[in-house]
Structures are given as C-alpha cells and as structure tokens.
A and B are shown apart, each in its own frame.
Chain A
Amino acid sequence: MKPIKHVEIVDELNRLMAEELEAFLRYFQLRYRLRGVDKLAAENFFQKAMDETLEHAEAIAAHIRVLGETPKLNIKLEVGGGPVSLKEALNDALIFEQQALNAYKDMLPRVAGDPGLEDFIRKQIATETEHVQEIAMLLE
C-alpha cells in the first residue's frame, strides 16, 4: 500500500477519531440498557471502555493538531433499543472494538516511515487487540 499524503492522513485520523468517539457514545448508551445483576457486573467494564475510547480519541485529536490541522468530527448516530443482556452488550462491544482494531491495522502500512504516527498506530493496535481478546474471552 502506498504512503498517503498529508490531507489523506488527516482524513484517516478524523475517521479513526470518529470511530473512537462513536464507540464512547455507544458504550455510554449501552450501559443504561443493562439491568440488575448484569448492570452491576458490567459497571467497571463499561466505565473503563468509555475512559479508554475517550483517551484514544483525544490522542488522535492531538496528532491532528500536531499535523497543523483542526480535528473534524463526522458522526451520524442514533441509538435506541430496550434492555439487553450482558452477553448482547458485550457482543456489541466486540463489534466496535474489532472495527477500531481493523481501522488501525489498515492505517499502519499507510503511515510507514512517519516515526510519530507509526509508533502511535502500533500502540493502538496493541491496545485494541487486547480489548478484542478480553471481550472475546468474556464471551466464551
């Protein structure tokens, strides 16, 4: 895959930031769809997931600033739905995290040679891989 131009890097980073912030919003809403014991059991998991997605989004926004641009957020999201079980919620979480991981993996070869970004994307891949594995394990 060819290295990408400055404007394309910024576009990709904006898309990654949107993935993270949308995941944050989905986690935020999803935890209110849990009931009873499931809600109690998942409280820490969801709080941590929200904290991390927000941290990731901030890190991406900071990279966009370093590139001399302003983060541009494009999210079209409407989430509803009734109560869900913990298993259903984790299945949703697995989808967000897997897609974030895929997005970072796709980005990696495109930023090869840019030390700051390449290092950042590698770290994100490691972190997201851990998240995916953790959720997959919880679903076993």
Chain B
Amino acid sequence: MTETWKEFEANEVTHSVAHHLVAIHEVGREYGGWARVSDIARWLGITRGSVSINLRNIKVRGLVIEDDHRQVKLSEQGLKIAQAIMAKKAAVKAFLRDVINVPEEQAEIDSCKVEHLISQSTGENLFRFIKFLTSDDPAARQALSQFRKFEDS
C-alpha cells in the first residue's frame, strides 16, 4: 500500500483524469481490464467525444494502453494511480460514513470530491486513524462510543 501512495504522489492527477482512470478500472473489471469508450462514457455520464479527447492526454502520459479495437486498459502506472485514488476514496468514505455518521449517499459524493485532492500523507494518516477507530482496541471503542453519546446529547 505504501508504495502505491508514493507512486501516486509523484503524479499530478486532475479530477477528470482521476475519474477516467477509476472508470476504466471499474468498467474493465469484467473484461480483463479492457474498457470501451462507449462504456466509459456511460459510466462517467459524458459523451464519447469527451472521453476520447481526455483519453488522448492520458495515453500520452502512459497511464493507459490501447488495443487494435480501440479498447483501453490501465497501464501498470495507471493502475497504481487508480488504486491509490480508490484507496483514498474508500478511506474518506469510511471516515464520513462510519465515524462521523454521514449518510451513505452523501459520503459517496463527498469522498468522490476529495479522493484525488488529499495528499499521500493525509490519506495514509486517515487510513491508519480509521483502522484504529474501527479496531477492537478498547480505547478506540470507547472513543467511538463517547462520540456517539456526544452526538446524541
């Protein structure tokens, strides 16, 4: 996991690039990682033209590869970035939903907004913090329990 975070920090990833990489990862899940432009467009809710234009720049950066049928797949580097983004999103979402009780749908939206913006170190710290809070450690259980009581008061 640490290596993935390091790789991610070395790359400046915009919100759009982050979404495209995650979309390719998700759409390609059932097809050995390969995704069609039409499916990526549908997943992202944008046009095929936009996906193609955006993919051109992503390809230049070596984050995706393309086959003869114009299907795309994440390169090794692209996959690491996508995984890092998804890990951060999962950490933020877990924090929002499981710790501070944000409803699932809102947690999904808000974690999506910040997934590519928070730094490597923040992501790692958040991940460790959630791991601790959701562990069986008595101090963590007590802290969460106290917080719930505070919320209800």
Q: How far is the CA of A100 from the CA of B52 in the complex (A)?
A: 11
Number of chain B residues whose Cβ lies closer than 8 Å to a Cβ of chain A: 13
- The CA of A121 and the CA of B53, in the complex, are separated in Å by 24
| Interface 0/1 of A32-46, CB less than 8 Å to B | 000000000000000
Comparing B43-51, B87-95, B117-125, B138-146, the segment that makes contact with chain A is: B43-51
**A23 to B53 CA separation, bound complex (whole angstroms):** 11
Q: Is B148 in contact with chain A by the CB < 8 A criterion? A: no
Q: Which residues of chain A are near B37, meaning CB under 8 Å?
A: 99, 102
CA A102 to CA B48, docked complex, whole Å? 9
Give the number of A-B contacts (CB < 8 Å).
41
Chain A residues 1-43 with CB under 8 Å of chain B are 15, 18-19, 22-23, 26
Q: Are B53 and A92 in contact (CB under 8 A)?
A: yes
Question: Would you call A59 an interface residue if the criterion is a C-beta within 8 Å of the partner chain's C-beta atoms?
Answer: no
Query: What separation, in Å, do the CA atoms of A96 and B52 have in the docked complex?
Result: 8
Q: Count of A residues near B, CB < 8 Å?
A: 19
Any A CB within 8 A of the CB of B38: yes
Q: Which of B38, B53, B56 contacts A102 (CB 8 A)?
A: B38
Minimum CB distance partner of B52 in chain A: A95
Tell yes or no: A75 within 8 A of B by CB. Answer: yes
**A84 CB to nearest chain B CB (Å):** 13
Contact partner, A76, options B38, B46, B53, Cβ 8 Å = B46
Measured between beta carbons, the chain A residues less than 8 angstroms from B48 are 19, 99-100, 102-103
A22 and B47 contact, Cβ closer than 8 Å, known pairs A102-B37, A102-B38, A106-B38: yes
Known: A99-B37, A102-B37, A102-B38. A76 touches B49 (CB 8 A): no
Do residues B38 and A26 form an inter-chain contact, with CB atoms below 8 A?
no
A22 engages B45 (CB within 8 Å): no
Query: What separation, in Å, do the CA atoms of A76 and B49 have in the docked complex?
Result: 11
Distance in angstroms between the alpha carbons of A116 and B37 in the assembled complex: 27
3 interchain residue pairs of minimum CB distance: A99-B48, A96-B49, A99-B49
Given contacts A23-B49, A95-B49, A103-B38, 12 further A-B contacts (CB under 8 A): A15-B41, A18-B47, A22-B47, A75-B47, A76-B50, A95-B56, A96-B49, A99-B37, A102-B37, A102-B48, A103-B48, A106-B38
CB neighbours of A22 from chain B (8 A) = 47, 49-50
